[in-house]
Structure 1
C-alpha cells in the first residue's frame, strides 16, 4: 500500500535524524521549507510533525519550530496496540551495558522460535520515572536474522528513531501482531539491585512478542516492574445478559 504524503515526509525526516544529519537539540527544516520541498500544504506538514511527536522524536518550541528531542523516550514492555504513540506511557531511560549475543532463557527462546543453544541479541534498558526513579527493567531479545540485518542494534547508545522503525527500515518487516503475557513473581537479586529495591520484592513480568505478517518474531521483550508501580487499566463495553 502506497504511503500518504505526510507519512513519506515523516519517514524522510526520521531517516535524516537517524543518520545524524540532525542531532539532539537541532531545529528541523521550517514548515515553509518542507511545504516547498514536498509541494504540500501546511496541514500535511503539521500532520507529519504530529507523527514524529507521537514517536517522541521531536518537540515543538513556541515560535521556534520543531527540535530533535535531547533524550528519546522508551516504554515499559507491552501495550503496543496499533496507533499507540511512543509518548503515551513513554519515559526517559538508561541503556544498561553493551548489547550481547547470548542464549536466551527457554521461555524467550520459545517465543522467538529458536532452538536450544541458539543465541539472540540482547539489549537491556532501565525505564525511569521523574527524578530518575527506576520504573521497569526491560530486556529486548532479537533473533539472529534481525540482528545481522540491523547492526546498530549492537551499539550501546539509544536508537533515536526507535528500534521498531529502524528494524522496518533495514529489513522491510513491520510488526502486525503483538502478544503480551503477564505474570507475578518474586524478583531475583540482580533485578532488585537494578530497580533500586530490597528483597523480597514482588514484581509484575510482562512478556511482549511482536510478529510480522508471516508470523515471524521480530523481538521479544521481558519487562520487570515492581508490583507497586505496575497498573493495567481496561475499559470495555458490557451487556445486561
Structure 2
C-alpha cells in the first residue's frame, strides 16, 4: 500500500535525521517550507511532524517550530499494540556496552528459530525513571539475517528513529504481530547490580517477540524489571 503524503514527508525527515543531515537540537524545516516543497497544505505537514513527535524523534519548540530530540527515548519490552507510540510508553535510557554477537538463552533462541549454538546480535539498554534511577533492563536479540542487513544495529550508540523503523527501512520487513510472555523469578547477581537493588529480589520478566507476515521473528526482547517498580495496567470494555 503506497504511503499517504504526510507519511512520505515523515519518512523523508526520518531518513534525513538518521543520515545525520539534522543533528540533536537542530531546527528542522518550517511547515511553510515543507508545504511548498511537497505541494501540500500546512495541515499535512503538521500531521507528518505529529508522527515524528509521537515517535520521540522531534520536539516542538514554541515559536520556533520543531527540533531533533536531544534525549532519545525507548520503551520497555512488550506492550507494542497497534497504534501505540514510543512517547506514550517511552523513557530516557542508557545504552550498555557495545552490541555483540553471542549465543542467546534457550528461550530467546527458540523464539528466533536459531540452531543450537547459533549466535544472535545483542543490544542492551537500561531504561530510567524520572529521577535517573534504573527502571528496566532490556536485552534485544536480532537474528543474524536482520543483523547482517541492518549494520547500524551492530554499532555503539542509540538509533534515534528506533530499531523498528530502522530495520524496516533497511530490510523492508515490518512486525505485524507481537507476542508477550510475562513471568516472575529472582534477579541474577548482574541484574540486581544494574537495577541497583539488593538480593534476593523478585523481578518481572517480559519476553517480547515481534513477528513479520511470515511469522518469523525480527527481534526478541527480554525486559527485566524489579518488583517494586513493576506495574501492568490493562483497560478493556466489559458487557
Same fold, TM exceeding 0.5? yes
Distance 1:236 1:157 in 2: 37
- What SS does the aligned partner of 1:10 have? helix
TM-superposed CA distance for 1:132, in Å, is 1.1
Distance 2:80 2:112 in 1: 18
Q: Deviations over 1:111-142 (max 9, x none)?
A: 00111100000000000011211000000000
1:86 aligns with 2:91: no
Which residue is equivalent to 2:115?
Answer: 115
Which residue is equivalent to 2:31?
Answer: 31
Q: Deviations over 1:52-107 (max 9, x none)?
A: 00000000000010000001100110000111010011100000000010000000
Write the mapping of 1:17-56 to structure 2, written as runs, cut at 5 A: 17-56=17-56
TM-superposed CA distance for 1:228, in Å, is 1.5
TM-superposed CA distance for 1:238, in Å, is 2.3
Distance 1:74 1:96 in 2: 13
- What SS does the aligned partner of 2:26 have? coil
Distance 2:123 2:82 in 1: 23
- What SS does the aligned partner of 2:89 have? coil
Which residue is equivalent to 1:62?
Answer: 62
- Shifted more, 39-48 versus 228-237: the winner is 228-237
1:150 aligns with 2:137: no
- What SS does the aligned partner of 1:127 have? strand
Which residue is equivalent to 1:184?
Answer: 184
Q: Deviations over 1:163-208 (max 9, x none)?
A: 0000000000000000000001000000000001110111000000
Which residue is equivalent to 2:174?
Answer: 174
- What SS does the aligned partner of 1:101 have? strand
Q: Tell me the C-alpha RMSD between the 2 structures.
A: 0.6
Write the mapping of 1:148-227 to structure 2, written as runs, cut at 5 A: 148-227=148-227
Structure 1: 5+ residue stretches without partners: none
Distance 1:132 1:233 in 2: 23
TM-superposed CA distance for 1:237, in Å, is 2.3
Q: How many pairs align?
A: 239
Which residue is equivalent to 2:237?
Answer: 237
| TM-score, normalising length: structure 2 | 0.99
- What SS does the aligned partner of 1:88 have? helix
Distance 1:123 1:38 in 2: 37
- What SS does the aligned partner of 1:160 have? coil
Distance 2:237 2:70 in 1: 40
Write out the 4+ residue segments of structure 1 that deviate beyond 3 Å after TM superposition. Answer: none
Structure 2: 5+ residue stretches without partners: none
| TM-score, normalising length: structure 1 | 0.98
